[in-house]
Chains A and B, each alone.
Chain A
């Protein structure tokens, strides 16, 4: 199966270096070999999608609080574009706001994860992603 399937990319959209590193450390700890591509905000992320820097198959892990174009704005932009509207997007954020969560789900996210202070949670998220793309067939 692995031979037939190109390895999925994790497209991490996160402005905070520490948070980004948390994910990268977790991948390393869990020995997940999938490539990680990072963008620092929505504008950069959208540009990278359009430029083809990120190729399918990929899974987006999106922060909400970001400069220039925040996570919800990016989400709406992706769902509005014909090319990327099928993207699988998970949210990883510190925001416990119900309002933001509702909005995110209305834009068809695959899951909503809260960052925890310790970083232990990131391990779980990473493990989940690893399982997810092993089992699930992603849009290509």
Chain B
């Protein structure tokens, strides 16, 4: 899949990524074209070169020809002079020669020639006569320089004389080059030139040479060497300064070539130096030509000059090359444009086709999704042709009717309907009728089910088809029934409820109220609906109620639970427990307030009463305590004083009081002591329950034995104690045991007796029994024995305040327990022998509901 991003935002076209898209043939054309350009350039350049070479060759040969021609002309001149000499038989004088040479007008006709002269061959024997003869015309003639050769070749005449005066009389024999060429001319009969020499008359000492032409005594040149030597007279000669010769010959201007001439190793003439005009240090062409000239070989080195270069500088190949490259570039650009355009076209085509593919995929996806959706639909879907043949069903339908797909598709729709309805509506098939209806369907196993079917019609290939959506009503049916039942139940519950129910709107007016609430307040339901809530609120509660309602409506709080006083129609107030909460719509806004009000009037009043009474009770208890305390103290002080005073009287009047008075004093002390005990017990009694003691684990045996030891009980009494550990509040428990054992001893008819302290743990607490083998208490007096200030025997017989058992009872009851009196079971005692019909014994049974550790 092509990247969308790339499609929408093409990367900026760079040369690289466009040329990437070139095909091989683009490159081939470009390469071919380039090769063609190269070939054209090469051929053109070759042609140009050849043309130049031709030009050069022509020029070079022309140059050589010019030199040769000029030399030929000089030869001719020399031969002409030879002829002239012959004409005068070789005997001429200087004057004649001068005139002859002037006829030649050398300077104008033969530029480059330095002069023309005659050299006579003189044998040694004829030299002096020769000189003499010459000195007649030329007084200063002499032969020079001296040498030792046996022959003399003096320059005899030379014209123009002035410029060649130094040469006059110069003997050729003094120098090899001159002599050799002169001899060669003599011997060959041909014009000859010397090897390079420096002319004596050339002040610049530049290279030069001499040109000889021999003349003989004979008419023609003798045909053999001997004859030539025999007849030889001399040479006509011309001296040349090479530079002048060439200037004369070529006139060195606008020359396309430069050249040098060598004779052997001797450089005769040289234009090949940077001084020369148009010298090209890097010539296009350079050649050497060896030319044979009059007995010497001249070596021409000819090369092209700058002028040649500039004239023959042919731009054609370069132009061809450049033009070719330009065409390449244009071609390349053209390809770029074409390829790019092509690429765009291709990518556009790709985009279009990709869109098409994507759309097709989307379509396929949509179809798949639709199919899945149909299959995941909870409702059945069935597509039926106009002939009633099932074309398509979804999973829900299959599950609804318990079929497999293969069993349904292709079947007639009738198979989904009960036979009866099938028969009845054969022509008007309900499944081929557009609209909604509730009918019964038939499962594969022939069971029926209520369905709701919605049918719509459509066209497929111009054929009507029917699309049915089938909804299973089984659950809905049951749900509806259940809902109706619940609603009825709820309505009944609410309206028959003793609790009050009410609804109010956000304006705080009742919109709904149940009979219970209305009745409770003495209204009828109709009277209250539409009324403000404050109608039923007690006046002192109105502000708080309105505040609560506002908070609920604003949504600051969700619910209120509060005890509240309501105002009945007659103005009386009743207590109710309000539970109120806000009801929100789907948008979360509070639409109404629901309130449930329970009648707690009776309970509330009772509890208020109870509170009042409780407070009263607490106060009176406190008063009682205070009274008991003050009474015991205030009563005890004078009692003590009486007691003491009686004692002091006894002390002070010891021996003088009569017997009767002494007895009275005894009684007085006895009574006052009893009163003191009474007051102490009363104080103790009043204090029960004023202090809450912690429950602790106490060993019964050590506790009882301790108490017995402290109470100073006569040793005749046998006390047995169960070995058990109890959880009790130790201090009041000690008090109880002390009183009970004290009673047992105190009320025992004999001086000796048995006392047993037993304990037994139960599920709720424990039972404690204190048993004795005393007289016992008659059952009809059991209750009386527990009252305050009751004694069963005269106090003079048994001292007691009558508070002991009452105190025990009070302590036990205060701790939630119970106390009762029994006759002693003989099994309790170690020695039950004292028990008889008269001595039933007393057992005080105490139950205390304190949780015990059952493990020990």
Contacts and interface: CB of A to CB of B under 8 A. Distances in A.
B776 interface: no
Interface residues of A, number: 13
A16 B641 CA distance: 9
A18 interface: yes
B644 A94 contact: no
B645 A18 contact: yes
Interface in B622-647: 633, 636-637, 639-641, 643-645, 647
Nearest to B643: A117
A35 interface: no
B851 interface: no
Contacts of A119: 644, 647
A118 interface: yes
B98 interface: no
Interface in A86-124: 94-95, 115, 117-119
A95 B634 CA distance: 11
Q: Which of B636, B640, B645, B673 has the most CB of A within 10 A?
A: B640
Contacts of B644: 18, 22, 117-119
B648 interface: yes
B648 A25 contact: yes
A25 B652 CA distance: 11
B800 interface: no
Contacts of B641: 16, 18-19
A25 B648 CA distance: 9
A65 interface: yes
Chain B: interface residue count, which band?
A: 10 to 19
Contacts of A115: 640
B676 interface: yes
A95 B633 contact: yes
Nearest to B630: A65
A115 to B, nearest CB: 7
B633 A118 contact: no
A94 B648 contact: no
Contact of B643 (A21, A25, A95, A118): A118
Interface SS of chain A: helix, strand, loop or mixed? loop
Given A16-B637, A18-B640, A94-B640, A117 B645 contact: no
Nearest to B633: A94
Contacts of B645: 18
A19 B645 CA distance: 10
A14 to B, nearest CB: 11
Contacts of B643: 117-118
Contact of A117 (B633, B648, B676): B676
Interface string B639-663: 1110111011000000000000000
Interface string B410-421: 000000000000
A117 B673 CA distance: 8
Contacts of A16: 637, 641
A16 B648 CA distance: 16
Interface in B671-709: 672-673, 676
A90 to B, nearest CB: 19
Contacts of B637: 16, 65, 94
B392 to A, nearest CB: 99
Interface in A46-89: 65
A12 B576 CA distance: 67
A119 B639 CA distance: 12
Contacts of A118: 643-644, 647
Nearest to B673: A117
B322 to A, nearest CB: 129
A122 to B, nearest CB: 9
Most chain A Cβ neighbours within 10 Å, of B639, B647, B672: B647
Nearest to A115: B640
B681 to A, nearest CB: 14
A15 to B, nearest CB: 10
Interface string A5-28: 000000000001011011001000
A4 B190 CA distance: 194
Contacts of B672: 117
Nearest to A17: B641
A94 B647 contact: no
Nearest to A95: B633
Contacts of B636: 94, 117
A95 B683 CA distance: 12
B712 to A, nearest CB: 17
A25 B643 CA distance: 15
B634 to A, nearest CB: 9
Interface string B101-121: 000000000000000000000
B219 to A, nearest CB: 193
A71 B637 CA distance: 16
B673 to A, nearest CB: 7
B393 to A, nearest CB: 96
A28 B645 CA distance: 16
A25 B645 CA distance: 12
A65 B633 contact: yes
Contacts of B673: 117
A38 B153 CA distance: 202
Of B643, B644, B673, B676, most A-chain CB atoms within 10 Å: B644
A115 B643 CA distance: 13
Contacts of A95: 633
A73 B837 CA distance: 62
By CB atoms of chain A within 10 A, which of B639, B641, B672 has the most? B641
B354 to A, nearest CB: 102
Contacts of B648: 21, 25
A65 B644 CA distance: 19
B259 to A, nearest CB: 153
Q: Which of A21, A22, A25, A117 has the most CB of B within 10 A?
A: A117
A21 B647 CA distance: 13
A17 to B, nearest CB: 8
A124 B641 CA distance: 18
Nearest to A22: B644
Given A65-B633, A117-B644, 15 more contacts: A16-B641, A18-B644, A21-B648, A22-B644, A25-B648, A94-B640, A95-B633, A115-B640, A117-B636, A117-B640, A117-B672, A118-B643, A118-B644, A119-B644, A119-B647
24 contacts: A16-B637, A16-B641, A18-B640, A18-B641, A18-B645, A21-B648, A22-B644, A25-B648, A65-B633, A65-B637, A94-B633, A94-B636, A94-B640, A95-B633, A115-B640, A117-B636, A117-B639, A117-B643, A117-B672, A117-B676, A118-B644, A118-B647, A119-B644, A119-B647
> Can you list the 5 inter-chain pairs with the closest CB atoms, starting with the nearest?
A18-B641, A117-B640, A119-B644, A117-B643, A18-B644
